[in-house]
Amino acid sequence: MAELIVIEGEEVGKSYPLSNEVCTLGADSSNTIPLSDRRIAPTQAKIEAQNSNFVLTNLCPQKNIYVNGTPLQQPYTLQHGDTFQIGKTLFLFSHDPSLEMEVETTLVSDHSESSLEVSQVAPLKDEHVDSFLNELAHLDQQRRLSTLYNVSHTINSTSDMTQLLRKLLEIIFQEFPNVDRGVILLFDEERARFLPVASKAREGVQNKAVRVSKTILKACYKNKEAVLSNDTMFDERFMEGLSITEENIHSAMCVPLMSKGEVLGFVFVDTISSGQHFQKDQLNFLTAISMQAAVAIANARNYQKYKNYIQKLIDLGKATQDFSTYLQRDLIIKSLGRHLFKIHDCRHCMLALLNEQNKINFYPYVLRSRKGKWDETQLDVIRDLCKKVVLDNKPILISDLTFDPDLYFEEREEKVDSFLIVPIPSKSEDIEIENQAIGAICVSEKNSGGAFLREDQELLTILANQVGVALANAILYEKATVDSLTKVFVRRYFFQHLEKHVKKSKRQTQPLVLLMMDLDKFKQKNDTYGHQAGDYILQETGKILKKNVRSDGIVARYGGEEFAIILPNTSADIGRKIAERVRTAVEEHPYIFEGTHIPCTLSIGMALCQPQDSVDSLIKRADEALYQAKEGGRNQVVYLG
C-alpha cells in the first residue's frame, strides 16, 4: 500500500492513499489532495504511478518543492521513507505492501435454523466442518445462533485488543455456567512465546490464579484442533501433566484461535469444581465463538501494528526534519540519540563513525532517566560487530529468540538479549568507492523486554540513510567553514559571525568579549623542529581552544599561528577567566612530536565590545592588547576595555 502521511502542517497524522491514477496537490480545491496554503500554486505537483513506482513532479518550478531537504529539480521516483515539503505541509511517503491490512469478515445469520456461515478462517480441518455443523444443529440452535450473532457484533465493534478480549471472556462466562476460570493466550513475536493476555475467574472460586495446562496447549497447537478433556484425572492423553494435577483441574477445553492457517493464540477454560465436566456440544459451541473471535483478534492485531508503524514513520519524518536543521556533525550526533530512543524504545544505542584516519569513533548513548550503563563485555562485542557492519556494509540482527514450537509454551526470562546494527551509507560525492559505509547505528535492549524484528531493521535502515544525508551535508559545510588543519572555523566565518554578534550586543545590550591570541615564538619552533612539527602544534592548539570554550563560543584561525575567540553574552570578568584558562591549558599541554617535547605558550589580547564599537574597532583594540601581551614578556593575558 502506498500512501502520503502528513507529518507537519495543519493536518498532522492524516494519510492519503495513492492509486494508479494521477494524484495532484495544490491550493485549488479540485486537486486530489487540496492544501490550504496561498503560497503554493493552484496545482503545484503531481504524483504518477509508473511500473509500481510513484514519481513526483513539480508542475510550478517557480515555487520550490523540497525532497529530503533538497529542492526538486526534475521528476523524482519516491522511495519508502522519503519526505517532501510543499509550502507549509511536510509529507512522508510510505510504500510497504506487506503492511496492507487484510480485514476478514464473518457473517452469522440470526434467522437461519440449520446453517452457520463463517469466514474461511477456521480452526477445524475441512473434513470436520460438516460434522461439526450437523452436531451443532441438534442443539438449542436459536439461542446459540443468536449468541453467535451477538458475539460477532460485540467483539467486532472495537479495534482495541484489551476491550475485545475482556468482552470475549464475559460472553464465555455467560454462556458456559460450569466454567470456573478462563484465560486467552496470544503469540508474542518479540518473545516467541504464547503469553496470557486476559483472564477471568468466576465469583466464589477460591483459586482465581489460572495456571494454564501446557500439556493441553501443546496438544491443541500440534493438531491445530480444539481439545476437550471431560475428566482430566482419567484422561490418558494428559496423565503426565503435572499442572493438571497440581491445579486440581477436573475438566478443560482449549480451542485454537486460527487465522489463515496460523495459530494466533488459544482460549483455555477449565472447571475445578467437583462434579462439573464439559461436554462435546460445549466444545463445539466454544469453537464457533472462537472462530468469530479469531477474525476480530486478527483485525485488531493488524490495526495496532499498522497504527504503531505509522506513528514510527511520523517520528522518523520528524527526525529527518530535525537532522536537516543541523550543519555541524556534533549537533547531528547529539540529536540522533534522542530520536533513536523514541523510535525504537530501547535502553541503549550507539553510533560508530569513520574518522579521517579511517578509524572508527564510537558514541554510546544511555538514557539519563534510566539507571545502568552499558555492560563492558557487551560493549566490546557490539564495537566489534559495528566494525564488521561498516566493513561489510551489511546489517546484523541478533537475538536469543528460538522459534521452536516445543519452546512456545515454556517460561523465559523477562528480557530478551537482542540488538540490531545497520550501516550508514555514504551520501558524499567525495567518496570514490561505491556502496561504502561511513559508519553504523546500533540499538540494544528494548524497554518492552522483547526482541528486535525485521520491521525494526527497516525503520533503522531508513533513519541511517537520513543520517548519511545529514552527515554528507555537514561535511560540505565543514569544508567551507572549518580550517582543514586546526579544525576551528576559518577567517571568513569569523568575520561573518563577529559582525552579527557586535550588532546583537548593541541591540540587546549584551556583553561581548573578543580574544585575539598568538602562539609565542612559533616561527622559531617551525625553523627548529620543522614544518610538520609546526602543523602538529597548530592542530593540538586548535583542540585545546575548542575544549576550553563554551559551546556558544566561536573559535577561529585568524591567520598563521594566530587565533581568535568570540564569546557572546560574556562579561569582562568571565572573559578574563576563560582567557586565563586557555592560556594555562596551552602552557601545561604536553606537545610531544616524534618523542620530542616542545614547550608552547600563548599570548592573549582581550577587548570588551563598547556601544560605539564597530567590527574593525573591536578587532583593533583586541589586537593592541595582544601586542602589549607579547611586548610585556609573552605568555600572559592583557585586557583593554
Specify whether the CB–CB gap between 72 and 66 falls below 8 A.
Answer: yes
The DSSP line for 163-179 is HHHHHHHHHHHHH-TT-
The pLDDT score that the predictor gives to residue 125 is 46
Residue 207 pairs in a beta bridge with none
Which amino acid, 600? Answer: C
Cα distance between residue 191 and residue 399, in whole Å: 10
Q: In CATH, which of 3.40.50.980, 3.90.1170.20, 3.40.50.200, 3.30.450.40 is domain 326-480? A: 3.30.450.40
Q: Which residue has the cell 484465560?
A: 183
Residues 6+ apart with CB under 8 A from 611: 506
Cα distance between residue 485 and residue 430, in whole Å: 18
Residue 505 pairs in a beta bridge with none
Which amino acid, 75? Answer: P
Pairing mode, if any, of strands 33-34 and 23-26?
Answer: parallel
For residue 489, the 8-state DSSP code is B
- What is the spatial order of strands in the sheet that 23-26 belongs to? 33-34, 23-26, 45-50, 53-58, 76-77
- Selection from 260, 304, 49 nearest residue 164 by Cα: 304
Q: Which residue has the cell 482430566?
A: 232
The pLDDT score that the predictor gives to residue 605 is 96
**Which grid coordinates are listed for 481?**
567553514
- Please check whether the domain covering 3-94 is classified as CATH 3.40.50.261: no
Cα distance between residue 213 and residue 268, in whole Å: 9
- Selection from 33, 26, 27, 29 nearest residue 3 by Cα: 33
The pLDDT score that the predictor gives to residue 602 is 96
Cα distance between residue 160 and residue 165, in whole Å: 9
- What is the spatial order of strands in the sheet that 562-568 belongs to? 554-559, 562-568, 512-519, 602-608, 637-640
If phi > 0 it is left, if psi is from -120 to 50 it is alpha, else beta; for residue 158 that is beta
- Selection from 423, 470, 464 nearest residue 323 by Cα: 470
DSSP helix/strand/coil, 491: helix
The pLDDT score that the predictor gives to residue 99 is 45
User: The domain 118-303 belongs to what CATH superfamily?
Assistant: GAF domain (3.30.450.40)
Specify whether the CB–CB gap between 56 and 66 falls below 8 A.
Answer: no
**Which grid coordinates are listed for 268?**
483455555
The pLDDT score that the predictor gives to residue 70 is 82
E-strand stretches of 78-160: 83-86, 89-95
On the CB side of 180, how many CA atoms lie within 13 Å of its CA? Answer: 24
- What average pLDDT values come out for the chain (641 residues) when binned by 10 residues? 81 82 93 90 94 92 87 90 86 67 35 32 46 51 66 74 90 90 89 87 74 78 86 65 62 89 90 80 88 87 87 89 85 88 87 88 72 70 90 85 54 66 81 72 85 89 91 86 92 94 91 96 92 95 94 93 96 95 96 94 96 94 95 93 74
Phi, psi of 604 (to 5 degrees): -130, 135
DSSP helix/strand/coil, 75: coil
**Which grid coordinates are listed for 592?**
610531544
Phi, psi of 364 (to 5 degrees): -80, 140
Specify whether the CB–CB gap between 85 and 486 falls below 8 A.
Answer: no
**Sign of dihedral through CA atoms 320, 325, 329, 331?**
negative
The pLDDT score that the predictor gives to residue 116 is 29
- Selection from 253, 291, 279, 267 nearest residue 199 by Cα: 267
Specify whether the CB–CB gap between 552 and 568 falls below 8 A.
Answer: yes
Domain 491-639 classification at class level:
alpha beta
Residue 638 pairs in a beta bridge with 605
Q: Find the helix or strand (DSSP H, E) in which 271 lies.
A: strand 262-271
Catalytic residues: 561
The helix-helix angle for 280-324 and 454-481 (nearest 10°) equals: 0
In this structure, how many other beta carbons lie within 10 angstroms of the beta carbon of residue 323?
A: 24
Specify whether the CB–CB gap between 252 and 268 falls below 8 A.
Answer: yes
Kindly list the domain boundaries of the chain, sorted by start residue. Answer: 3-94, 118-303, 326-480, 491-639
Q: Which residue has the cell 561511513?
A: 438
The DSSP line for 456-482 is HHHHHHHHHHHHHHHHHHHHHHHHHHB
Q: Do the domains spanning 118-303 and 326-480 agree at the CATH topology level? A: yes
